[in-house]
Structure 1
Amino acid sequence: MICKIRELLGIRAMQNLKQQLLTTLITLTLGAPLALASTPQEKTEYDSISNYHSGQAIVGTINAEKNPHRGWIWETEDEPYDTGWALYVDNDLFALRDSDKDYTGGISLTLAGKRATEYAFSLDPALNWVDKISGFSSFHDNGDRQLHSLEVGFTVFTPEVITEEAAQLDDRPYASLLFLSNTQESIDFENDAAYISSFSVGILGSKIISELQTQLHKTLGSDEPVGWENQISDGGELTARYSVAKQSLLHFDYQGDYNLEISTTSQASIGYITAASWGLAARIGEFDTPWYSFRPQFNDYSEKSASLAGLNRQVEEFYFWGGFNIHARAYNAFLQGQFKDSNHTFDASDMRILVADAWVGVTKQFQTGWRLSYLLRGQSSEVKQGNADRSVVWGGLMISKGW
């Protein structure tokens, strides 16, 4: 597994193995599970807004007045340069419990729109290149619309006791990730499907993150974490991750007093987290944003791969949401380490292959376009033994604004 990840990071002799592994992951992800998940849906009468498929008009159009959340959300065919931003803050304290352990926190900022492809530091060229190698670019090429976003942030993990300097071999290790990520999403309006690919690069074990948490605890007067020298890849190590997914609108009801949407997602990734997963998400309440803008099942810790489509609508929304994921996880660098020696890691034999997570949340969008969300999320234990064998719970706050 480590060798496969090493080759994905572009060290040497990567072409043949990457092609094989990525193609296998995509086949598993977009194949059998979706045959069950993507059941045909009753379509509304077609009306006034045309959707284009590779420059040609698709047979039929979506009734935008009745179901604006299923159609396109900008007047122009092209994606606008700037479609909004979102700030995500995760912390176990937001789960309303007195603890500081496991996934203890993370912060990320997402910038959406065509600009995500044009920044000098954008990873969009690298994402396009990997998409071509994996064959996933065909889904983007055949999509009716493309959306782009760029995300930067960090993630922090700690053991239960942070006042001990020695490595706690029966608990999870300290770990951190400083990352930059680009995401591309293609919408297939006719089949109510969205295809998403993301490419992230980052640094495991950065001293910047450990110092940041230490200084924050000093400022707040709480216990200082003193065991950061035992973190995964202490001192810093380059890492990366590539993921692909398909999201499908499984069921919808926009005719009652409240709107209802249920979607399914199949996903695969390779890199510092290597896994395949299937999940279901639902929301109910008053909302006008399109279904493909809502995908909490993509939130792996602080990385959101978020779509901000539709946040430019100047309408009020208030809805509740929830869902679950089932992961078949083959590798997790935050627990197993990477290439660099670490004082404490878990072997593959210590890890559970099947992991589940579930979440509930609430969102309020104001007529000005500002949006606030709260999330409570839990994940089953990933380690088989010791004090590390426990479920993980955290909360999140999200602030976003569309233009």
Structure 2
Amino acid sequence: MSDTQSHSVSFVRETTIPQQAPPAVETGAIKWVRENLFNGVAGSILTLLSIFVIYKILVGTVPWLVNGVWDTDNIRECREVLEGATGGCFSVITERWNQLLFGIAYPSDQYWRPTLAFVLLIVALLPVLFMTLPRALLIVTGLYPFLAFWLIWGGTIMVPIMAMVGFGIGYLVYRRFVVDSFAMGFFGGVLAALIAWWVGGFLSGAMSGFLALEAVPSRDMGGFMLNMILGVVCVSLSLPLGIVLALGRQSSMPIIKWICVIFIEFIRGVPLITLLFVANVVLAYFLPPGTNFDLILRVIIMITMFAAAYIAEVIRGGLAALPRGQYEAADSLGLDYAQAMRLIILPQALKISIPGIVNVAVGLFKDTTLVSVISMFDLVGMIRGPILASTDWNGVYWELWGFASLLFFVVCYGISQYSQWLERQLATDHR
């Protein structure tokens, strides 16, 4: 057989070729670096520029952190220890941590009370934030506001108990009459709650020594504790109020609609600091002589109204994003307005509105520092006032403001990460 004929015979391999490892540039860390850091001329330039900026920042901050002083009594001793070397004077944090967290006037032997209230806050939020937990834990969530008030402000436990009883009676009356008429159920529940609170006021006064903690007035609240109180309370109250305002703005009843429109547009057109000045100064002129309206309560009302106006617009955007067919589907099922909103419309609108709501909540929590301009000693007020005004620590800035930034970053970053997790769980993007 000639060579030409031998090469024309087809060849079929009877064994497979052994598998080989992929090229080094197509796997592992090298692949990640090539695709994410050096994926082109522009990407390589930006990566090198970023590395240079990070290097310059680390060169300045690492010695400042590593050589930091933590055990001196004032800034003069701190500078003597450093002897001109680069280093932070972190002794101000170890020496004034109690004022930064709890304020200057809260009794030092009672720090366990707001600390316990913070721990219970996490426990109370868990069944709300993570819906896979047993729903029976919502009982703890319902009891928490009354227990936290007693722990932080003190006094007899009968005050929060009677407040809780008043809410319970009002809810039972609402459920009894709302079947016949929503207005009758709502106003009947409010009236029943007010009567229960009025009767409870006499009972609380008669049992003022029953399970009483040392009373702490609102003017003694301060530090990061005050920021947490304002942030948690105002966010919790502004969300349902914002939902009501959003629904009212889309109402077919002209009076309800225009009341909501005027409220939202007026609040959104006024700076928050102006509302805080109104709460601090102007609001007292509209109260009867001798009336003592707690300052923290006034501030909570103003901040809640401010946040509710923005949340209402966010939720209105979620309602407008729903297809018209969802409303028609609710009508075809024979659902009334309240049932349609509760079962079909609001669950979808709130899922769409999660990013906007979280954005308002994060901004609101940071805006609680504005109360320092009305002489409330929150975290920023403590730094600007008693700490930097003292001769011991006058001149320490980066350490204090860095500590404040760290506290706010931890809370805000936690809120942001939870919102992203919730979006993935609820598939907000309709994938």
Structure whose residues are more often helix by fraction? 2
Task: Name the larger-Rg structure.
Answer: 2
Instruction: State TM-score, norm by structure 1.
Output: 0.23
Structure whose residues are more often strand by fraction? 1
Instruction: State TM-score, norm by structure 2.
Output: 0.22
**RCO higher in structure (CA 8 A, sep ≥6):** 1
